[in-house]
Amino acid sequence: MDWLKISLYDNASPIMEQLIMFHDYSMLIIMSILSIVSFFMIKMMINKFISSKILENQMIELVW
């Protein structure tokens, strides 16, 4: 599969150039948020200090 067929077309107008820049910027923000959330979820699952008060269904709520 050719990766150029998946992404946006080359810009033919200034509006398309702005749309491509917006797409790139929004994907940067989304990937940053996703990586931070993933990091904290993995950190919480590996954490050995589990509170005894909230032990009930803690893993289910973490995955949810």
> What contacts 24+ positions apart, CB below 8 Å, involve 7-15?
none
pLDDT in tens, 6-23: 666 677 788 888 988 998
Reduced to 3 states (helix: H, G, I; strand: E, B; else coil), residue 38 is helix
Q: Is the full-model pTM beyond 0.95?
A: no
Reduced to 3 states (helix: H, G, I; strand: E, B; else coil), residue 47 is coil
Structural domain includes residue 22: yes
| Secondary element (H or E) of residue 6 | none
Mean pLDDT for all residues in the chain:
78
Range of the domain at 58: 14-63
Structural domain includes residue 3: no
Structural domain includes residue 1: no
What total of structural domains would you count in the chain? 1
Give dist(CA 58, CA 33) in Å, integer: 23
| Secondary element (H or E) of residue 41 | helix 14-46
Structural domain includes residue 2: no
Structural domain includes residue 5: no
